[in-house]
Structure 1
């Protein structure tokens, strides 16, 4: 039982770090897209992208 609990702890740590890396990936993608969009001054596209990214992140957190 002790080993089982250790394995479960390790798995939850791995799961948390994967979730953290996913959020970092979202931030990097958001940064690159916003640089691209702002250079063209498409404010509408930026706001749509921010909204969709926030929604996707919320959905990912809610169902994980």
Structure 2
């Protein structure tokens, strides 16, 4: 039973270490994207196609 407690404590310590490393990386700008905004202007925007208006067909049976 003591092995479970020991493994639980070790896993919590490892999780805290990973979380601290993640926070440090975010604060240092590791995940900032400086490449995409400069490339985004090279691609054209997709054209939005308008749907044609639906018209009712008037026939002899449909008055």
Q: What TM-score, normalized to structure 2?
A: 0.45
| Higher alpha-carbon Rg | 2
> Counting helix residues as a fraction of each chain, which structure ranks higher?
1
After TM superposition, the score normalised by the length of structure 1 is 0.44
- With CA pairs under 8 Å and 6+ residues apart, which has the higher RCO, 1 or 2? 1
